Amino acid sequence: MPKPFDKLTATAAPIMRSNIDTDVIIRIERLVGNSIRGTLGKWAFGSLRYLPDGSENPDFILNREPYREAEILVTGPNFGCGSSREGAVWSLQERGIRAVIGSGFGDIFFANCFQNGILPVIVDKAVVDQLAADIEATQGAGKVSIDLEAQTIVSPSGARHSFEMDPRRRDGLLKGLDEVALTLQRDDEIHAFQASDRTARPWIHSTRISA
């Protein structure tokens, strides 16, 4: 069950490079196995966070104070593009990230965020750039506030920006709804659909071959 999300005021770290893909967020070898949950936080952004010898890369923003404590990422275009690995979201979550703000995200990453109670916010690139500039002007000390109910972001400069959000998804996040349980309440409708579809498209449903 995802954790509900309503309001957050926290340190935000701008990671403005475009096309940060999910392979960069979490490397595949960290995801091979059936009991990986809880092990991923330290591997988030591994290739950016660590030098080849395994030590921390002091240039990477999440290795610097106060960004180390960031719960919000302000991201460049197309953040989370690439693979469907939900491990990318899990690793951010385990690293303490609760919201990402950008001008656009990979479609599957975006959907995976909602499944885990992470708020992805899409705003115009100009707003993202302004937020990043405001944060940097305070050297990260200025916090960013997000209010999901009101659909607003407040920048460290005090500037207020509103954002759009699918009402169904907003509701799911506010309440921390479990989609599987919700859909199972419609199981009669699923069965009714399948019964009529079996007549309309029998080739979809009879998949047992005799061979």
Partner 1 sequence: MPGRSLLEKIWDQHVIARLSEDTDLLHIDRHLLHDLGGSRGLLDLKSRGLKVHNPELTFATPDHALSTAPGRAGTSKIGQELLAALRVETAASGITLFDVDQPGQGIVHVIGPELGLSLPGATIVCGDSHTCTHGGLGALAFGIGSSELTHVLATQALIQRRPKTLRARFEGKLPLGVTAKDMILALIGQIGAAGGTGYAVEYAGSAIRALPIEGRLTICNLSIELGAKMGMVAPDEKTFEFLRGRPYAPQGEMWDRAVKAWRELPSDPDAVFDREVVIDVEKIIPQVTWGISPEHVVGVDGVIPDPKAIDDPARRAAVETALEYMGLQGGAPIAGTPVDWVFIGSCTNSRLSDLRAAAEVARGRKVAAGVRAWVVPGSENVKREAVAEGLDKIFIDAGFEWREPGCSMCLAANGEVVAPGQRSVSTSNRNFVGRQGPRARTHLASPASAAASAIAGAIADVRMMGR
Radius of gyration of the chain (CA): 20
How far is it, in rounded angstroms, from Cα 138 to Cα 147? 21
Residue 208 binding partner 1, by CB under 8 A: yes
Q: Identity (one letter) of the amino acid at 109?
A: F
Tell me: does residue 193 bind partner 1 (CB under 8 A): yes
Q: Does the protein bind partner 1 through residue 86 (CB under 8 A)?
A: yes
Residue 21 DSSP class: B
Q: Among 13, 31, 61, 99, which residue interacts with partner 1 (rule: CB under 8 A)?
A: 31
Contacts with partner 1: how many residues (CB under 8 A)? 59
Which C-beta is closer to partner 1: that of 67 or that of 79? 79
Query: Considering Cα of 33, then 39, then 45, then 47, what sign does the dihedral take?
Result: negative
C-beta of 47 vs 145, nearer to partner 1: 47
The reply to whether 189 sits near partner 1 by the rule CB under 8 A is yes
Stretches 6-14, 67-75, 145-153, 192-200: which one binds partner 1 (CB under 8 A)? 192-200
Alpha-carbon distance values, 192 to 96, 180, 188, 196, 203 (Å) = 43, 18, 6, 6, 17
Verify binding: residue 69, partner 1, rule CB under 8 A.
no
Of 66-74, 92-100, 103-111, 143-151, which segment contacts partner 1 by CB under 8 A?
103-111
Based on the number of CB atoms within 10 Å of its own CB, is 151 exposed (0-12), middle (13-18) or buried (19 or more)?
middle
SS3 content of the chain, % helix, strand, coil (to 5): 40, 15, 45
- What distance in Å separates the CA atoms of residue 96 and residue 66, rounded to the nearest whole number? 14
Contact of 160 with 153, CB cutoff 8 Å: yes
Contact with partner 1 (CB under 8 A): which of 15, 89, 100, 128? Answer: 89
- Taking CB under 8 A as the criterion, which residues in 166-185 touch partner 1? 166-168, 179-180, 183-184
Please report whether residue 152 would count as binding partner 1 according to CB under 8 A.
no
Identify residue 80 by its one-letter amino acid code: G
Task: Enumerate binding residues for partner 1 (CB under 8 A).
Answer: 16-19, 21, 23-24, 27-29, 31-34, 47, 52, 77-78, 81-87, 89, 104-108, 111-112, 115-116, 166-168, 179-180, 183-184, 186-187, 189-190, 193-194, 197, 201-209, 211
